[in-house]
Structure 1
Amino acid sequence: MSNYKKAYIAGGCFWGMEDLFRVRPGVKDTEVGYIGGQNEHPTYRNHPGHAEGIEITYDPDETSFRQILDYFFRIHNPTTVDRQGNDIGSSYRSAIFFQNEEEKAEAVDVINIVNASNKWDGKVVTTLEPYTKFWTAEPEHQDYLLRKPDGYTCHFERFDQPFI
């Protein structure tokens, strides 16, 4: 486990993102939570400025940060500001929370590839934000779609082929 890494992303409601990432090759664990906001100990009812994000624990021998980002850009619409599906507001923004300059550079590179592909109608508006702290969401939000398979999600694979 010491070789595992973590990635932090947000792309709308955290339930759908988690549900799709949990089964990806190389992904060892997922947690939903709040990231990038103003308050300590955010909750579902009080998370000003925080995005609904996910923490992805992955094995870099099986997948890469770049492959995680590629999939991220295929399962949500990165061209809408503060919106995914029926969810509107900064909590639902598309964001990558980079932990170092290498991750930031990878994110910029993948965004450029996605934009150059012209698969989306608009340009990527995903923000690049420095990682600060990830606050795990309440237990009822973890593995939500496993427990409620008919629950709301606006996430699905929009493109079969990878961008990279």
Structure 2
Amino acid sequence: MTDKANFSGVKVHISWHRKGLTLEDAQKIKSLLEEYKIPSTIFRHSDPYIPDAIFIGNLVSAEAARLVLLSLPYQIKYIFRPDYPQTEGGDSSGLLIGIGYMSTHSQPDDNSQLKPVEVSQSDLNSLLEPELSTNEFQRRLHRITGCL
């Protein structure tokens, strides 16, 4: 990360669990984010199972997303689409990163907005490439999630 990183407007919601992302983990992530002046809020997740998903808004910078992705203590297996409804934990401003999410916590009906997308390590690596521009990061995120 560089001192010139633009994290303006980005906020992070950290949902801790008894397993996989503890309150202590959440507090460590919050402290790291505070060093970069990224505001974060810690919530207790109602589901006690290990989280395996993340939400990244469609205006989040590549550097902010990379910082968060590299700080997670759990393996990401799913990413929620950038148009994930605000009522379910998404954000219409496009500047939210949600971590500690459960891939199975909301999959009713056939609403594709509510279903997380399974991601491979290769997909994640493509989002973590150094020097990736925000436009390219978001293009890749949208390709991965099928939210074109």
The TM-score with structure 1 as length reference comes to 0.30
Return the structure number with greater relative CO, CA threshold 8 A, min gap 6: 1
Answer 1 or 2: which has greater helix percent: 2
Answer 1 or 2: which has greater strand percent: 1
